[in-house]
Amino acid sequence: MEGLVKGLLDVALGGDDDDRNQRQEDGTDERSRSTSWAQVVSGEEDHEQNNRRSEGGDSGRNQNLGSESDESRRPQKIANEGYEDGRQGGYNQSQPEAEDGWETVGKKPPRRHQQVRKDNWDNFKRPASEQEYSNEVEDNSQLEPTQTELNDLGKACNKLWELDYNRLTPGKDYEIDCGEGKKSYQKQDMAEGSLFTWLSEDVLTKPTISRFCSLLDNYNPHEGYKEQVTSQEKQEQAAFIEEICRTAPIKYLYKYLCAKGVVSGDYQEFKGLLTSLWFDLYGRGGTSSCSSAFEHVFVGEIKNRGEQSVSGFHNWLQFYMEEAKGRVDYQGYIFPRRRGETPDLETQLLTLQFEWNGVLKSVSSTMIGVSPEFEIALYTLCFYMGGEDNYVELGPYYVNIKCYRLGNKLGSAFPIAES
């Protein structure tokens, strides 16, 4: 009866493709299953329609974004609240946060309070040329793509996994509690606590991770509201790109794209390409300059067309930070599409369900513990050298890296576990 009522409501309200695709999955062929699942995971069912639009990406899109009066109750850029130097915090059951119009979930305190050191974050806003960076990884044969890797995108992606020297180790650098499993259309909370039990204090001080985290609060997460990028935020972006370009995954990516003729031998040109791909603003949801690849893939966005939903948000660091602030409520993992092992403490590719500021993401996927430079390199490589579906092996995981384009922009990218 519940399913019947929900189905009738779906029809009356325009449908819930996420849940419907999951329920119908068993009756479709393999390719249709992959596409349907990707639409569920991404929250971007309209990508195919958007791909047929012009590269400007704005004309002809849905303009129904709500009245102007709604803007006053929606947050602008999120401040760094909940994280203060010298103080353990983020989650405070007795005094939950509720700033800038955001709702604090606040019902699942982590088992161990974390301290996020932000004392260097202000320095990241200085001109990139005035900042201090980590030493560059030395060039060696490992950074040179082999002919086999140049001929096989899957092997190149797996090489990036091997070169991710900053990937964390489960049980040593962090611990997760996956809770219980569920189907994507099931709404009951199957997790008694937070996803992250603890994170080693030195993790967020690692150069690329700390710079990545400092970028996460630069965005208005509501789709359709124009972003205002300050000069300091542009300097944060430039410094982040400079930092990751000293790492092995990005150096390998550069050599790969050079060999394929995507970029010249000018490393500064390559840095500009990364900056443009990930941080240039474009239109989404009917408004120009309101989104970017970085915001969508890593930070996440709230879709306000029809029933609110979360799209993007595929990064474990963003999940950890928002969970610590009380804005994310982990709801449990999603059962694998094929019968197999269930996730555990060692899992580094997880399909899960959560609420972000009270808005449900019925299915999401994230690689836990990987470095920012690895994800940037992986998704950039698939964008330039792959297609929409990129079936690869990443260490022990068989993965489909979905890569959606909005004209010549990166609309979304995320992993789907294939087994």
Catalytic residue, candidates 303, 314, 325, 402: 314
For residue 197, what is the DSSP state? E
Take residue 229 and report the two structure tokens written for it.
Answer: 């990028």
Query: What 3-state DSSP class applies to 209?
Result: helix
Judge whether 239 and 128 are in contact, CB under 8 Å: yes
CA distance 107 to 6: 27
Burial 174-205 (b: 16+ CB within 10 A, else e): bbbbbbebbebbbeebbbeebbbeebeeebbe
Catalytic residue, candidates 251, 296, 325, 409: 296
Strand partners, 393: 398
For residue 181, what is the DSSP state? E
User: Who contacts 415 (Cβ-Cβ below 8 Å, separation ≥6)?
Assistant: 314, 349, 365, 366, 367, 394, 397, 399, 400, 401, 402
325 is catalytic: no
361 is catalytic: yes
271 is catalytic: no
For residue 201, what is the DSSP state? T
Judge whether 41 and 416 are in contact, CB under 8 Å: yes
Catalytic residue, candidates 182, 255, 361, 409: 361
In degrees, rounded to 5, the angle at the alpha carbon of residue 95 between the alpha carbons of residues 90 and 97 is 55
DSSP codes of every residue in 219-280: S--BTTS-----HHHHHHHHHHHHHHTTSHHHHHHHHHHHHTTSS-S-HHHHHHHHHHHHH-
Catalytic positions: 296, 314, 361
